[in-house]
Structure 1
């Protein structure tokens, strides 16, 4: 079975990307923000982020382990599922 990375809701890309960097900061992972180096105002925790990469290139993620990257992806999934469940209960 072929996998597809096609976004069902393309407009969600910005929100997911911001969530990725916020979660990385909460976990104390050293990555630059998606639009620049640490200190950018794009995310709430940007000041806590390290400056491994050159921001926006995605290169900063290659310095992290698979476990660290996976923990960010897993946390995004948990938060999105929790939000969907909350919306269903309303």
Structure 2
């Protein structure tokens, strides 16, 4: 990947509210002092804890995808491959 190439964009823009809800749900489970509405300011949260939220989000999304596959649901096509 070339330097300066940004990869942390949403592939499905409509997923933004659901991802935000998941982020704040996990932050609450971890006992972090953030609340919904403080969306882009997490300056009071140490980087290690903020990273833990992202890690838990990824684990939960992988678990959801595995459940979908196990129940016979097909995953949607990769939006990056559609023209």
Fold-level similarity (TM above 0.5): yes
- What number of residue pairs does the alignment pair up? 68
TM-score (norm 1): 0.69
1:85 to 59, 66, 79: 66
CA RMSD of aligned residues (A): 1.2
Structure 2: gaps spanning 5 or more residues = 72-83
Shift of 1:4: 2.0
Secondary structure, counterpart of 2:43 in structure 1: helix
- Point out 4+ residue stretches in structure 1 off by more than 3 angstroms: none
Written as runs of structure 1 = structure 2, the 5 A alignment for 1:1-90 is 1=1, 2-34=5-37, 55-56=38-39, 58-59=40-41, 61-90=42-71
For the pair shown, the structure with the greater C-alpha radius of gyration is 2
Secondary structure, counterpart of 2:31 in structure 1: coil
TM-score (norm 2): 0.75
Structure 1: gaps spanning 5 or more residues = 35-54
